[in-house]
Amino acid sequence: MKIIAGLGNPGPSYETTRHNVGFLAVDRLVDVWHARGPAKQYEGEIYQVEVAGEKVVLIKPQTFMNNSGKCIGSIFHFYKCEPGDLIVIHDDLDLKLHSLRIKTGGGTGGHNGLKSIDAHLGGGKLNYHRVRVGVGRPEIPGQMSPADYVLQQYSDDELAGLDPVLDDIEQAIKCLIAGDVSGAQNKFNKDRDAGGVSSK
């Protein structure tokens, strides 16, 4: 079983905030793959689908970002998964807006959702896959705290620029499901301008 978890906060007021790009990505996967669901289980919104012969569970934790691991860890342990079976999609302040990076293992970069996942999976060196989606930082340093910035809504132009990024995420995850991590990184680790145009 492969698990794909998008990180975000539940509720309409958070729907199109930068912090919810993981939820937006899962929504795209559900739509494109015609996944079955949602079921409400393990404090999450759960969908199921088969991709290239692999059974896949798509998760949108409903526990709020800082407790994302509670939901993800429960499903991970239920299916007796290995770290390599888990793909987490999340926002990243350290990457330019709309850029994409596929990474396996490593630190949390201070991301509270990742910290929670690590804690609920058992800690230690956990080589699960991360799809890091750049949200950038406030234009003027010190103008706004990172916490407030990621909870801001995307502008209409930013949402339009995000659309091709979500398409790339879908293709990159298909590579990861197939076990082609280096292929996903070589093809999809790239920066984009604000309009979503690749600048790799």
Is 19 known to be catalytic? yes
- How far, in Å, are 50, 52, 81, 182 from residue 178 at the CA level? 12, 8, 16, 11
Q: Which residues of 42-51 are buried (b: 16+ CB within 10 A; e: fewer)?
A: bbbbbbebeb
- Long-range Cβ contacts of 106-109 (<8 Å, 24+ apart): 106/130
Q: Are 68 and 61 in contact (CB under 8 A)?
A: yes
Q: Are 8 and 22 in contact (CB under 8 A)?
A: yes
Q: Which residues are catalytic?
A: 19
